[in-house]
Chains A and B, each alone.
Chain A
């Protein structure tokens, strides 16, 4: 199996790709933080069994 050589386009877009990657990581971290905050807050209730079974 051979890896493709780096194209000029990849080199020129490196900064942009890294930026998009960091933003995605930040977004995932934010959603995770939001989930923890909501689940650990006092008014969070798990759905009841009958609601889950429909």
Chain B
């Protein structure tokens, strides 16, 4: 852990509210809010809008808290990597100690408030998710094994389960299917990023698959995980959260995703370098749409259900 600022700012620079907000990883938070909301609305139990709103807000705050703890712990390597060098701690805008305090305070607040707003199981799941992301992934796996994002991906996969539990107070197969979707999606998504952020992980000495096993093996892994993901994502269409809208969406996006993964697998590294990793960047962008489309389709099925249109 480094506690130093890596770049120079005016000596009288006061940390702004926006700097603290950036610590909460707002883009990750938006994905968490969306998937948790889908989990909540797809559940077969309706929730009062005030309780639903408050619960999702506390899940978002919990996700933000784990982001702040991650940034506190990773400040040293964030400063080395081009992609993360401008984050609040390495850029000197937020002292590391303040990030830690904010992360711990918001973790406690979000878990406690979710317990009061929804139920204890949802609160316990949120606490476990924060622990998993901050401790298991950030402090342990990330710098220890090339399987870091495979196992660590579980942290990002919990929000729809939490959403489901907020509504029902219990877990079910459908909730874990949504978990599995994000869990299987995470490795190809991040490995594509690792392919085109070429030297970042090397510079920071993070044992990403690209660093430990090479880029050819990473390309093969992207394809293998994509094949498994396609089976899971299309199969989900025939469960209680699926339906015709979901099936159509899944067929289109899984077809595109599989083609993208095949292209990545077939490409020699020299060709990728030549065109500035165009295919890999395209696959990465598609992966964001992929997840959004699948959860969007689950949401549409859930919203149509009261009118007798959603599901099979």
**Residue positions of A touching B, CB distance < 8 A:** 9, 12-13, 15-16, 19-20, 30, 33-34, 37-38, 41
Contact A16 B17 (CB under 8 A): yes
Question: Does chain A have a CB within 8 A of B227?
Answer: no
- B109 nearest in chain A by CB position: A27
A-B pair count, CB < 8 Å, reads 26
- A8 nearest in chain B by CB position: B12
What's the dominant secondary structure at chain A's contact region?
Answer: helix
Contact B17 A34 (CB under 8 A): no
Chain B interface residue bracket vs A: 10 to 19
Contact B48 A20 (CB under 8 A): no
* B37-90 at interface with A (beta carbon < 8 Å): 48, 50-51, 54, 57
Known: A12-B14, A30-B54. 8 other contacts (CB 8 A): A9-B14, A12-B12, A13-B14, A16-B16, A30-B57, A37-B48, A37-B50, A37-B51
Contact A33 B54 (CB under 8 A): yes
Instruction: Give the docked Cα–Cα distance between A6 and B180 (Å).
Output: 56
CB < 8 Å neighbour of B116 from A33, A34, A41 = A34
B108 CB, min distance to chain A CBs, angstroms: 14
Instruction: Give the docked Cα–Cα distance between A14 and B51 (Å).
Output: 33
**Residue positions of B touching A, CB distance < 8 A:** 12, 14-17, 48, 50-51, 54, 57, 116-117
Instruction: Give the docked Cα–Cα distance between A45 and B87 (Å).
Output: 48
B29 CB, min distance to chain A CBs, angstroms: 15
Contacts of B14 in A (CB 8 A): 9, 12-13, 16
Instruction: Give the docked Cα–Cα distance between A20 and B16 (Å).
Output: 11
Contacts of B16 in A (CB 8 A): 15-16
Contacts of A37 in B (CB 8 A): 48, 50-51
Enumerate the 10 nearest inter-chain pairs by beta-carbon distance, A residue then B residue, closest first.
A19-B17, A37-B50, A16-B17, A12-B14, A33-B50, A34-B54, A37-B48, A13-B14, A34-B117, A30-B54
A-B contacts, 10 listed (Cβ < 8 Å): A12-B12, A13-B14, A15-B16, A16-B14, A16-B16, A16-B17, A33-B54, A34-B50, A34-B54, A34-B117
Instruction: Give the docked Cα–Cα distance between A16 and B14 (Å).
Output: 9
Contacts of B54 in A (CB 8 A): 30, 33-34
A9 CB, min distance to chain B CBs, angstroms: 8
A13 CB, min distance to chain B CBs, angstroms: 6
Instruction: Give the docked Cα–Cα distance between A1 and B51 (Å).
Output: 47
Instruction: Give the docked Cα–Cα distance between A9 and B14 (Å).
Output: 9
Instruction: Give the docked Cα–Cα distance between A37 and B48 (Å).
Output: 8
A34 CB, min distance to chain B CBs, angstroms: 5
Instruction: Give the docked Cα–Cα distance between A16 and B116 (Å).
Output: 29
- A18 nearest in chain B by CB position: B17
Instruction: Give the docked Cα–Cα distance between A37 and B14 (Å).
Output: 39
Instruction: Give the docked Cα–Cα distance between A9 and B13 (Å).
Output: 10
Contacts of A12 in B (CB 8 A): 12, 14
Which of A9, A33, A34 has the largest count of B CB atoms less than 10 A from its CB?
A34
- A23 nearest in chain B by CB position: B17
Contacts of B117 in A (CB 8 A): 34
Contacts of A15 in B (CB 8 A): 16-17
